[in-house]
Amino acid sequence: MSVSGLCQICEAAEATHDCDRCGALVCTEHWNRESGLCVECVAEVGGGRERQPGEPGAEDITPPDTDDETHRL
């Protein structure tokens, strides 16, 4: 598909991609290359794969706190 026009998210930058999920025309800043989705769809579906410890961006991943949870049967 030929993409032309302004990004449908920021409405300022030139659209260079189209979202595989919703079809929105988006700029590079609002497109996730890994998933092929716009940032709004990535936020709705959870962002795809999980980052691994040590991978860039993984520092914002907080492991679940299991010390406070006790399950008894």
Tens of pLDDT, residue by residue over 28-39, are 999 999 999 999
> Please, which residues have CB within 8 angstroms of residue 22's CB and are 6 or more apart in sequence?
37, 38, 40, 41
Residue-wise pLDDT for 11-29, tens only, equals 999 999 999 999 999 999 9
Highest mean pLDDT among 10-14, 46-50, 66-70: 10-14
- Residue 29 DSSP class: G
pLDDT on residue 64: 52
pLDDT on residue 61: 43
More confident of the two residues 73 and 28: 28
pTM of the entire structure? Answer: 0.59
What is the identity of the amino acid at 64?
P
